[in-house]
A and B are shown apart, each in its own frame.
Chain A
Amino acid sequence: MPHKCTQCGREFEDGSTVILKGCPSCDGKKFLYIREAERHDDVLKEKSIEEIALETGEDVLEVRDEGTKREIEIFERIESIRILAPGSYELNIEKLAKSEEVVVGLEKEGRYMVDILSMARRKK
């Protein structure tokens, strides 16, 4: 099920991470999950996306604007594991699945431990 930007109607694939930063066309921050049946209603029935949202009762996904000091999203991170505090971890599943190279992030952005040995192994 795709999303549409409620402001300009641009369509995004389901699971698209692009929208997490806001709509690249109009910078809109609200997106509607749209069902296949209503997918083209905005054009065919000349409704606004917000009207469709009201009718279908689907949740509108809102991207909160945290300004430029936004934390780097997990999918953009370079570390595979982040230690937030002793005993508290965040795993970057995507990174772990993609490569065996281990970089550990410590607390906040910008502090890293690098496992050199994991990077020296030849890929299988």
Chain B
Amino acid sequence: MEFLVRTKQRISQFLKTLFKKRTCRIGIYGPPNAGKTTLANRIVRDWTGDAVGPVSEVPHETRRVRRKQDVTITGQNGNSLTFDIVDTPGVTTKIDYNEFIEYGFEKEEAVRRAREATEGVAEAMHWLREDIDGVIYMLDSTQDPFQQVNIMMVGIIESRKLPILIVGNKNDLPDASPARIKSAFPQHPVIAISSLEGTNMDELYEKMTAYFG
């Protein structure tokens, strides 16, 4: 009798590991310097006390994909969501080392950064193609959301049938316009935050648990 019980336990354990869904992976995408890493750091710090990576004013600071596994957040509605957060390099169609020269880098370093940033775009797209289950698309609210790269990326994410939350960042700045972002992407939920100051994060967590859960 005991033998039967044990076998049953073993089989159910085996089936559990076999069919266990891997943790949902949420990617933070968006153009360079939108504040993707600042947001990733905030989420990770809020819920695990850790950090994802360094941030700076220089665009393309994140040139490799970074991931923090098993972050659990809880919305005010009481719903929880456990996911891996994937912070990606800024996706853009044009990279010029002169952008870095403007920030005071030597030519050699600027050229190296431009090269790494280009490889970073390819890596971000690779993750989107293979490993991402939901997307936070992040925009700088002070910039024009109708840029071609944003329209194209949102289109690509839609065609992959991935859930997408649009986040308008930098709302602490005086010329921020989240309304402009809402008008650009009326088909998706838009949340206006400041990841630097941490405003409106509760709404973001609530939306995330409802949307990606």
Contacts and interface: CB of A to CB of B under 8 A. Distances in A.
Given A78-B118, A101-B122, A112-B114, A117 B97 contact: no
A112 B94 contact: yes
B111 A119 contact: no
Size category of the A interface is 10 to 19
A115 B149 CA distance: 10
Interface residues of B, number: 25
B122 A103 contact: yes
Contacts of A78: 115, 118-119, 122
What secondary structure prevails in chain B residues at the interface with A? helix
Interface string A92-124: 000000000101001001111111110111110
B95 A112 contact: yes
B164 interface: no
Interface of B: 91-98, 110-111, 114-115, 118-119, 121-122, 125-126, 128-129, 149, 152-153, 156, 159
24 contacts: A78-B115, A79-B118, A101-B125, A103-B118, A103-B122, A106-B96, A109-B111, A110-B110, A111-B114, A112-B114, A112-B118, A114-B92, A114-B93, A114-B94, A114-B95, A114-B121, A114-B122, A115-B93, A116-B121, A116-B153, A116-B156, A119-B122, A120-B129, A121-B129
Given A110-B114, A111-B98, 5 more contacts: A110-B110, A115-B93, A116-B121, A120-B156, A120-B159
